[in-house]
Amino acid sequence: MPWSSMNIQEIKKNLMKYNFEVRIVTFKFLEDNINTLRNSIIIYTSSQRNEHKNYISDLISFFDEDNILIPNLESLKAHDNKGYQVLFNYKYDLGLIESQYYCDVSEVNADSQVFPCVYKPANGASSIGVEIVKNIEDIKKIVTSNWKIDKDFLKKNVKKYFLKSRYNHKWEEYISFAPSRFVLQKFLPGMDSDFKVLIFGDKYYLLKRYTQKNDFRASGSGIHSRDICFDDAVKILDKAKEIKNKFKSHIYSLDLCIYNDQVHVIEFQFTHVGPITLIDSEYHFSFSDNEWVKHYATANLETEFSTSLIRYLNDSLTCSS
């Protein structure tokens, strides 16, 4: 599979050391063998290109029943999909900040919705499109501004204003519903930072991220530090370990924050995670003898990814046997 940020030949060598027979293939190969590939372990990744991600999701779903998928389908669906993460949290109770998932602004109950709150487009990363909204009108403005001016949009308006006899009001009313999926998340005022946690195997990597001046978003700010007080680190690590115990994955990327002395989950990913928290780190944590231990060591992405795969496979194969 095309992984631009990792040396997949190195990963192949690492896996072969554990007597796995490894073959590097393309998604096209999977498509061509959709009816014959069985009893295999398929290790793949998602994409931040939306159409590419949709293609991967369509294709991979056909291999779930007769193969081991890493990541599994739930993890793939949750990638850069804040809406699915809300539903995911209903099932696994990971501690996501109070959030609601909508497909149309008409579904938001203005009487019960607490404002201000945080508007998040269903898809995306690095806080792109994330804003504070103070009322329903703010949401409508954002959703309207997100509509694409494409060929269909232009054709519709030509018919509406110039070729009125060909304009189908009922059809346009129907088709205009759900133009942009979004999430409304509880706003936690006064926050000036959050934490990124990567978990690879039994190693936990931490990064503290700060907001820019006059902004509430730490993700994508580019302002971060590894100087984290141990008490805060323990709180964050305890929550990360709790999430790991609730949902099994080969890797984890968690956005967490501390608010009113409680740890909350902002977002999470289990595939195609940003690796900077790991590759730039000079230490990691592990949980041993009922306490967190800090280990000073640099990390190699391919080595840690391979090790996390082996641990996950050993656990999965043990459970299935």
Rg (CA), the chain: 22
Confidence label for 40 from pLDDT (cuts 50, 70 and 90) = very high
pLDDT per residue as tens digits for the range 246-281: 999 999 999 999 999 999 999 999 999 999 999 999
- Mean pLDDT (whole number) for 99-104: 97
Contact 188, 97 (CB under 8 A): yes
Write down the CATH superfamily of domain 190-320.
ATP-grasp fold, B domain (3.30.470.20)
Q: Which residues of 253-288 are buried (b: 16+ CB within 10 A; e: fewer)?
A: bbbbbbeeeebbbbbbbbbbbbbebbeebeebbeee
Q: Is the pLDDT of residue 311 over 90?
A: yes
Question: What local confidence, expressed as pLDDT, does residue 150 receive?
Answer: 47
pTM: 0.90
pLDDT per residue as tens digits for the range 51-92: 999 999 999 999 999 999 999 999 999 999 999 999 999 999
Question: What local confidence, expressed as pLDDT, does residue 151 receive?
Answer: 46
Q: Is the pLDDT of residue 155 over 60?
A: no
- Mean pLDDT (whole number) for 137-143: 93
- Mean pLDDT (whole number) for 10-22: 96
Question: What local confidence, expressed as pLDDT, does residue 120 receive?
Answer: 96
- Mean pLDDT (whole number) for 147-161: 53
Confidence label for 162 from pLDDT (cuts 50, 70 and 90) = low
Q: What percent of the chain has pLDDT over 90?
A: 76
Question: What local confidence, expressed as pLDDT, does residue 237 receive?
Answer: 98
Residues of the chain with CATH 3.30.470.20: 190-320
